[in-house]
Amino acid sequence: MSNQPTASGSQAKATAGVSQAKATASVSQAKPTLAGPKIKTRKRTEVVKYDRSGFKDSILQGLSQAGDNAGLAQYLIDAGGKLNFRTYYDVLLDILIVGGVLGQGGTVQAGVTERCVFGQYDDLETIKDFNNVFIQILRRYKYLERLWEEEMKKILKFINRFDENHRSKLAKITALFLSNQLLSASILNNLHTTDILVKEGHSLTFITQVFQSWLREKDISHVSMVLRRAQLDDKLDRFFPASKSSPDEFQKHFLDNSLQPLADFQRIQVTNIHKKDLKAKFDDILTQDTPSIDELEEVAKDAQNNLIDSDICWTLWRSILPASEWNWKEEQVAEYVLTQLETYSCILQKFAQTGKSQLIFLIKLQDFCYDNIEFMQLFHKIILLLYMHDVIVEDAVLKWFYEVHIDKGKNMFLENMKRMVDWLDTALEESASDTEIVD
């Protein structure tokens, strides 16, 4: 028997040798690598399940264990770091106002609490104490302000679904939101844009209660400022049913409900609208190639149905000498002003017949000349011209000089007027002496 290896055995050894050589080569050669820092794979954002019911239950449970209002506020401040107030802001406000989540049509869904506005006693001091909860929450979570404004609009849209007691409490907390400027007056918009609320008188009753509480906390200047910012200052009549929207009905309603400041405010608003319309008519006439004195006088007479004479007189002044940037030399301004007064003083005279209207005109003229620097040195010349054309009389000039002038620029104005006043005083003394001689 031969001792030489078979062919197949030789091939197996050869194959094994090749494999071993490749393995050795693989180990000895370094694998290529990418240069630069290692890039970490970003973790996937965890998706939080939208769970209104779970949020509501957490809030209701926390309110039940919170203790007094201070404890309630502290609980909610702490909860804001754990619960998603930004997503469930509407649930949170609904619970704090009505005690539960508002569903379709203003119905309260299952799960309620008495730790809410509707669960408080119906007096302003009690509601004010609960309002401190809202103050502290909004101070800590400012982003809720805009979100809660939208939710309050929705809540107020359902005032006809709440009973009288709850509406009264809601009006008080609304007034406190506005008086503390926690929310803007835009939350009142749905009250005058929802026809059913206006038609049935719910809007008027509610807004009246709001103003009664609001004016107990702040004065009319604050109320008017907040309304003006929300562009509601000239829309108060829209809260009235059509049958009660006349100016006389407006005045009567607010006077009957002890809201004299609001009645006065609305009267001023209406007057301002009439003055604005009158000025537009004056301006249209004065921009014509040849303005008609007769047409101006006719428009002014028509305005007497809505405005007092002093308002008409000053509105005409603002049209013939509008406040603007006068890029003229002082002499040019003086010439223009005196020419305008020469032309239109005949109309001014017809609407400055009483001493009161003349004094009002003089005070407004002082204010105007102070605010428009080009007129400051012309004030005494304007007064003299108005006097010479019988727009104002000596008694009005002297009373303004000695008693009723305002502080704006008074030192300069009084100094410039002293020569004319001395002349008037002397004329009056001589007139009195002549009368005594005749007697």
For residue range 66-84, what is the model confidence (pLDDT) as tens digits? 889 999 999 999 999 899 9
Q: Give pLDDT tens digits for 306-365.
A: 999 999 999 999 999 876 666 777 788 888 888 999 999 999 999 999 999 999 999 999
| CATH architecture observed for domain 308-438 | Alpha Horseshoe (1.25)
Share of the chain above pLDDT 70, in %: 85
CB 161 within 8 A of CB 107: yes
pLDDT the model gives residue 410: 92
When the pLDDT of each residue in the chain is averaged and rounded to a whole number, the result is 86
**How far does Cα 369 stand from its chain's mean position?**
30
Q: Where are the chain's structural domains?
A: 52-218, 308-438
Neighbours of 70 (CB within 10 A): 13
Instruction: Reply yes or no on whether the pLDDT at 437 is more than 90.
Output: no
- For tokens 């054309």, name the residue: 389
Q: Sign of torsion, CA 127 132 135 138?
A: negative
N residues, the chain: 439
Neighbours of 83 (CB within 10 A): 18
Q: What is the pLDDT of residue 333?
A: 84
Residue pLDDT, tens place only, 366-395: 999 999 888 888 999 999 999 999 999 999
Name residues whose C-beta falls within 8 Å of residue 421's C-beta, 6 or more positions apart in sequence: 397, 398, 401
Give the pLDDT confidence score for residue 6 in this predicted structure: 47
Cα separation of 119 and 99, whole Å? 7
DSSP character for 102? B
pLDDT at 18 > cutoff 60 = no
Please state, in angstroms and rounded to a whole number, the distance separating the CA atoms of residues 18 and 298.
120
Beta bridge partners of 102: 108
Dist CA 189 CA 183 (whole Å): 13
Separation between Cα atoms, residue 211 and residue 315, nearest integer Å: 32
Measured between alpha carbons, how far is 5 from 436 in angstroms, rounded to an integer? 167
pLDDT digits (tens, 9 = 90+) for 168-219: 999 999 999 999 999 999 999 999 999 999 999 999 999 999 999 999 999 9
